Chains A and B, each alone.
Chain A
């Protein structure tokens, strides 16, 4: 920054100290001609200043192409490669996660990130590279103390030669510029007074630096106090969203009412009203009456319910239990994948058509869907009460019964199948209407 400290103008050190010379030319054409002469004379630290871009000035000044494009290209390639390696390592190696059955490392999913990081790296390199290569920030340019510099953004065509140029000599260079056709030539003296940064600014920056340390300090403190897991609240709650709303929580206290209850009791003399509501059959919600499991369906069993059950089963159950409910090779995609990857914590699904589940009453199967299966304190099958409403759970139970009966038919089923085969000339048909006997639970 402090240009008067290292001037190479040794021979004239006893004279007034100059940081450069500024020459003003009358027209862009004159400036172009002068620029050709100056570059031909071998000057290195010089520049032209114009109010607008002048065609041909780059060539006249013999400005070599910048290396910035190569830096940008290199940074872009680095961004692309970095994004690729990052995603390969994160998705394919460190934390493989099954996302809709796609390969862990799959190029199409990675392309957007590769593209974005390429653009980001290239853009940042272009931006900061241009700043650095231009020698910015430069608060004091040697020519800017000249009087003619004030008009450089309106109508002045200037050339400045810096004193650090080896060929610079105050009088000789000025005279030479005059001979090139300059309208005026000014020698720029070194700026007077102290050019160092004022103490006030230094102190201000120091205060800012200390203040900037506060946010990370708060974050560190917040982490310190909440290291126990699991956490009820996020460690640092920056964005509140809808987490804290001006409303009463259940059982909360309210100063508005005399009894201080936020939840208000029913107004005396009124009754809750829903024309469609009727009490569900006993055991409809739990699958049992008292401690006895239901052995018959608490709903009307129709073909429509069976279809509904099949649809819901295929959506919720088949991903693990498979389309047929048989354990082993016919498991669903999730189970097969978990076994193929040797997941240590994976509990293979139970066979729905095996003896054990066949012998369960319908209420027990319903309860299993509702509550899940806990083994050694961990859910080996999660509860589905949240996802599946009770009537759908019963429909699934019905369909499971159908799957079981398809696997282990009753003797009369064979007679029926034989009768169908002889009349229609076909074998067992998958989509035949369901035998209404199925509605009854006929465990042996």
Chain B
């Protein structure tokens, strides 16, 4: 490219970065507080509506907790994926994802405590295998005690939480360090460790999916299940990232000049791709179990094909796959903030419903509309808190990696 053009582009970049560093802050500062208070109210109201028993609250809590974890992990995946592929286009949206993955680990770790504590309380704990007399009555599962026991379960959980904490902080702190000294070596360090991060991420997501969700039904197993959970994480993480970016721009936390329609278009394509991936994995799991028709496998789908759960299952087929598949296909949909925002919200709701559908039928052959509405309200509250944390981070730190060597490429990114 001509040197004249490059120079003008760089000057343009500098002024853009200047404007991004000083976002219009009118009425901005109170948005995180409003989000966090609104989120807390939504969660409490959701619990009141959905159930009246501690056991029911705990079950809803697990859904909300996995929802929070999945959005965090989706963002973390996005961050190291950019370094893994040495992506230049995504630099301006990467900081928001770094904040999603890097400022939430403490919340994720602390929020696990109620689940850990109730493991020791018979009658309240979520996991049937943790009950003291479970293996007395289920001799056929006794070989699983090697894996499904409370100390080992907690050890694995601690490993996962520590790994996510470390990964999230790793990418955020190094990216922030580059903001101050502008050393391109930070980029190389983050790239160098991204394959290891991918491996660690894979192992921990697999463990968490097996432990926290699949072991709710100790007799059932599906080897593709962690992939299913992973695909949902990425859908939730990308939809959350898009929604937070749109909100941050609308509220003035992020300049419109650094994150443009081109970035939204690419994020929308990624989200669209992972919606299909989710459907591919979900159907792969379903078809093998349907074809084999073996009781210990089909017991997972049987309760989910009866009563109201049948309609939730069909709702997922349409809402989580077919409607976004057709709806998000046109280019114009992904380039319009309103339609893209609509599908981000839509997919967040259905991603939450997917987790609800995985977890809740383990206890309830049916579910009332009030309980479902309460649950969704709780999910909205959880996401409100995520928004608050990220918006707060966007004011505390530079909202984009201002001295990233690929920043120029990202600002002038164009989907040809």
Instruction: Give per-residue flags for B280-322: 1 if the beta carbon is below 8 A from chain A beta carbons, else 0.
Output: 0001001100110100000000000000000000000000000
Does A29 lie within 8 Å of B5, measured CB to CB? yes
A150 at the interface (CB under 8 A from B): no
Task: Indicate if the CB atoms of A111 and B287 lie closer than 8 Å.
Answer: yes
A98-117 CB contact bits vs B (8 Å, 1 = yes)? 00101000001101100000
Q: How far is the CA of A100 from the CA of B292 in the complex (A)?
A: 9
| In-complex Cβ contact of B414 among A52, A55, A102 (8 A) | A55
On whether the beta carbons of B416 and A28 are closer than 8 Å, the reply is no
B1 on interface, CB distance cutoff 8 Å? yes
In the complex, the answer to whether B287 meets A108 with C-beta atoms within 8 Å is yes
CB-defined interface of B379-416 with A at 8 Å, one 1/0 digit per residue? Answer: 00000000000000000000000000000000010101
CB distance from A363 to the nearest CB of B (A): 39
In angstroms, Cα B4 to Cα A27, docked, is 9
CA A379 to CA B125, docked complex, whole Å: 61
Instruction: Give the number of chain A interface residues (Cβ < 8 Å).
Output: 18
Closest chain-B Cβ to A49's Cβ sits at a distance in Å of: 16
- Beta-carbon nearest neighbor of A30 in chain B: B2
Q: Is B329 an interface residue (CB 8 A)?
A: yes
- In the bound complex, do residue A111 and residue B283 qualify as a contact, i.e. CB atoms below 8 Å apart? yes
Q: Which residues of B contact A65 (CB under 8 A)?
A: 331
* Residues of B close to A58: CB separation below 8 A: 416
A27 lies within 8 A of B2 (CB):
yes
Tell me the bound Cα distance from A250 to B329 in angstroms. Answer: 64
Write the A57-72 contact mask toward B (1 if CB under 8 angstroms, else 0).
Answer: 0100000010001000
Cβ 8 A contact of A28, one of B1, B290, B414: B1
Let me know if A377 is at the binding interface, CB within 8 A: no
Nearest CB in chain B: distance from A120 CB, A: 16
- The answer to the question of A73 belonging to the interface, with a C-beta cut-off of 8 Å to chain B, is yes
Q: Does A255 contact B (CB under 8 A)?
A: no
Kindly state the separation between the CA atoms of A185 and B412 in the bound complex, as whole angstroms. 31
Contact with A along B7-28 (1 / 0, CB 8 A): 0000000000000000000000
Pair A73/B414 contact, Cβ less than 8 Å: no
Complex Cα spacing A109 to B5, Å: 57
Which chain B positions have C-beta within 8 A of A102? Answer: 291
Residues in A whose Cβ lies below 8 Å from that of B283: 108, 111
| Contact of A29 with B286 in the complex, beta carbons under 8 Å | no
CB closest residue in chain B, given A59: B414
Q: Which of B290, B329, B412 contacts A55 (CB 8 A)?
A: B412
Chain B residues in 8 Å Cβ range of A193: none
- By the criterion CB–CB under 8 Å, are B286 and A56 in contact? no
Our pick among A27, A56, A73, A111 for the contact of B329 (Cβ within 8 Å) is: A73
A28 contacts B286, C-beta separation under 8 Å: no
> Could you tell me if B2 and A108 are in contact, using CB atoms closer than 8 angstroms?
no
Q: Report the Cα distance A403→B276, complex, angstroms.
A: 54
> Which A residue sits closest to B326, measured CB to CB?
A73
Give Cα A100 to B291, complex, Å: 9
State which of A28, A73, A100, A111 has its C-beta within 8 Å of the C-beta of B5.
A28
Measured CA separation A73–B412 after assembly (Å): 30
Q: Among B5, B287, B412, B414, point to the contact of A112 (Cβ < 8 A).
A: B287
- Whether A27 contacts B416 in the complex (CB less than 8 A), given A108-B286, A108-B290, A111-B287, comes out as no
Interface residue? A53 (CB, 8 A): yes
Residue of A nearest to B330 (CB): A69
- A-chain residues with CB within 8 Å of residue B330 when the two chains form the complex: 69
The answer, among B2, B287, B414, for a CB contact under 8 Å with A29, is B2
B293: chain A residues within 8 A (beta carbon): 100
How far in angstroms is the closest Cβ of chain B from A74?
12
The interface bits of chain B over 322-350 (1 if a CB of A lies within 8 angstroms of the residue's CB, else 0) are: 00000001110000000000000000000
Report the separation of the CA atoms of residues A73 and B328 in the bound assembly, to the nearest whole angstrom: 13
- Residue interface bits A201-219, CB-to-B below 8 A is 1, else 0: 0000000000000000000
Task: Report the bound CA distance from A28 to B291 in whole Å.
Answer: 59
Tell me the complex Cα distance, A102–B412, Å. Answer: 56
CA distance A53 to B1 in the complex (A): 10
Query: Contacts of B2 on A, CB cut-off 8 Å?
Result: 26-29
Chain B residue with Cβ nearest A112: B287
Which residues in chain A, 41-55, are within 8 Å of chain B measured between CB atoms?
A: 52-53, 55
CA distance A39 to B360 in the complex (A): 61
CA distance A112 to B286 in the complex (A): 12
Q: Produce 1/0 per residue, A279-310, CB < 8 A to B.
A: 00000000000000000000000000000000
Name the contact of A109 in the complex, choosing from B4, B291, B412, B414 (C-beta under 8 A).
B291
**Which chain A residues in 7-50 approach chain B with CB under 8 Å?**
26-29
Are A27 and B286 touching (Cβ within 8 A)? no
Question: In the bound complex, do residue B416 and residue A53 qualify as a contact, i.e. CB atoms below 8 Å apart?
Answer: yes
B290: chain A residues at CB < 8 Å are 108
Question: Which residues 38-83 of B sit at the A interface, judged by CB distance below 8 A?
Answer: none
| Nearest opposing residue in chain B for A65, CB measure | B331
Which A residue's beta carbon lies closest to that of B412? A55
Q: A55-B414, A69-B330, A111-B283 are in contact. List 4 more A-B contacts (CB 8 A).
A: A29-B4, A55-B412, A58-B416, A100-B291
Chain A residues within CB distance 8 Å of chain B? 26-29, 52-53, 55-56, 58, 65, 69, 73, 100, 102, 108-109, 111-112
> CB within 8 Å of A: which residues of B?
1-2, 4-5, 283, 286-287, 290-291, 293, 329-331, 412, 414, 416
Question: 27 A-B pairs, CB-CB below 8 angstroms?
Answer: A26-B2, A27-B2, A27-B4, A27-B5, A28-B1, A28-B2, A28-B5, A29-B2, A29-B4, A52-B1, A55-B412, A55-B414, A55-B416, A58-B416, A65-B331, A69-B330, A69-B331, A100-B291, A100-B293, A102-B291, A108-B283, A108-B286, A108-B287, A108-B290, A109-B287, A109-B291, A111-B283
